[in-house]
Amino acid sequence: MSEGKKFYITTPIYYPSGKFHIGTAYCQVITDCIKRYKQAKGYDAYMLTGLDEHGQKMQTVAQKEGITPQEHVDRMAKDAKKLWDLMDIQYNDLIRTTEERHVKAVQKIVKIFLDKGDIYKGEYEGWYCMPCENYFTETQLVDGKCPDCGREVKKMKEEAYFFNMKKYEGWLKEFYKENPEFIVPEKRKNEIFKNFIDPGLEDLCISRCTFDWGIPMPNDSKHVLYVWLDALTNYITALGYMSDDETLFKKYWPADLHVVGKEIIRFHGIYWPIFLHALGLELPKKLYAHSWIVMKDGKMSKSVGNVIYPETLIERYGLDATRYYLLQLMSFGQDSMFTPEDFIERYNSDLANDLGNLLNRTVGMINKYFDGVIPTNITEKTEFDDDLHSCARKQIEKVENSMDEYHVRDAIHEIWKYISRTNKYIDETAPWILAKEEDKSKLESVMFNLVEALRKISILIEPYMPHASNEILKQLGIAKEDATWDSLASYDKIKEGTKIIEKGEPLFVRLDKEEEIEYIKQAMKGK
């Protein structure tokens, strides 16, 4: 591990109000994938995820189920952990906002704000969206509905505490002037400037007295904290900020990257920097606002019958195919559409055909021509070798450049170009003809180059498809320590006498298109 290179990455903390669909799963997978990439590059990477367990919505859901809110969130937390395990999400910590460590620290933070005079008591009136737990002004509504989720809003008025955002408006504008790349993609920053900062910041209502499932205000037990101050601070309370042990906080804060959905960038891009500044803390390095996975008929919704759950895909097609699909689907800054047709198409062509076949053919030929032993004593080369090697060099560089910018989808495309080039190398060199002509040294060279390309590919795909990556190495008989990111440029990692598997299981078996499309469609309808 490189000295001093840390990388603290976070996901949003999810509302545990219902079963998580592939949209939430996407958020987890992209964060996990960036963490794995940084780790592979030698960073001491730390990933935080969590659950946003307070608020009226949780109380309502629990009531419907006939249990207490605590019982409800406990149940949901168990389900969440099970799902993240199934998806092989390598988080270091999962914070729940009902945990004592969080509650205590948040109360201390509020106390600091009260003492500084940043919080005052007033009366709030506005249009309230129950599911989003958020007030809107008249002008923010879209066709009289919630601008975030499109649902009905209700006019409400209540005594409440406010955080004096206006006080920090000048500072915030200055901050963005000096850090124009704080939010990516840039258009998300432009949106919050247009809608919230340029018209003049509104003070933020931070408490409620109409329900009690929340953290009590330290100075007024009639009020509980409104969800955003409670939620945003998770990124520091999880590291032990304001606790007896701030070791993790000192080590990892500031966050290097907060990954959030585009609809909550406003809270992360305005309120979060202001809270941190008011606490005298450093700001995160970057906010990454991803877009949404949408369906043909719009947003995923149970009532429309178009929801797809990660378990459905993982159980039938495997974890790697599911992770791959989600990661290659989402473009930087644009909503992307999930369709069963596209899922099966990508599975068959990218995974079964391109990647699966490359491994299959390579393992088959080494068994056939060299009794399963990878030739390493290379004395000759074919006219196609240089081009294959230069493609490797170029593509590795492009993958790194894309990942360093968090353009995950582009990185995948660059890997697949390398896979295609390697498949083409088989056609160009025609090993079956070399074998017939008994051109042994050339055949050795071709087989070695194929295994070497697969070794590199297994390293490159690890952040996206950790299991396929391992399986490739296993079939080739290469140890994990001979497949580190650092060794991507090397050609001397395959040990003499390395024996490959006798009969490798196909990585991905070609699917029957019609049958599988129908299967996913039925699952979306909840059947």
Interface residue list for ligand MSP (CB under 6 A): 12-15, 23-24, 26-27, 52, 231-232, 234, 260-261, 263-264, 292-293, 300
Query: 125 in helix, strand or coil?
Result: strand
**Position with the least CB separation from ligand MSP:** 261
Query: 83 in helix, strand or coil?
Result: helix
Output the smallest distance, CB 328 to ligand MSP, in A: 15
**Phi, psi of 291, rounded to the nearest 5 degrees:** -90, -165
Q: Is 52 or 385 the residue whose CB approaches ligand MSP more closely?
A: 52
Query: 345 in helix, strand or coil?
Result: helix
Q: Is 234 or 422 the residue whose CB approaches ligand MSP more closely?
A: 234
Q: Is 160 or 264 the residue whose CB approaches ligand MSP more closely?
A: 264
Q: Is 134 or 140 the residue whose CB approaches ligand MSP more closely?
A: 134
Output the smallest distance, CB 517 to ligand MSP, in A: 21
Output the smallest distance, CB 229 to ligand MSP, in A: 10
Q: Cα dist. 173→260, 349, 355 in Å?
A: 21, 48, 48
Q: Is 15 or 418 the residue whose CB approaches ligand MSP more closely?
A: 15
Which helix (H) or strand (E) covers residue 480, if one does? none
Closest CA to 507 of 479, 477, 481, 469: 469
d(CA 238, CA 457): 36
Contacts of 228 (CB under 8 A, 6+ apart): 204, 206, 267, 271
Q: Is 264 or 408 the residue whose CB approaches ligand MSP more closely?
A: 264
Output the smallest distance, CB 338 to ligand MSP, in A: 9
- The DSSP code sequence of 424-450 is HHHHHH-HHHHHHTT-HHHHHHHHHHH
Output the smallest distance, CB 319 to ligand MSP, in A: 18
Output the smallest distance, CB 148 to ligand MSP, in A: 9
Closest CA to 300 of 2, 7, 24, 4: 24
Closest CA to 314 of 69, 20, 50: 20
Pairing of strands 287-290, 220-225: unpaired
Closest CA to 25 of 106, 101, 79: 79
How far apart, in Å, do the first and last CA atoms of the chain sit? 48
Q: Is 16 or 466 the residue whose CB approaches ligand MSP more closely?
A: 16
Output the smallest distance, CB 235 to ligand MSP, in A: 7
Output the smallest distance, CB 58 to ligand MSP, in A: 11
Q: Is 27 or 215 the residue whose CB approaches ligand MSP more closely?
A: 27
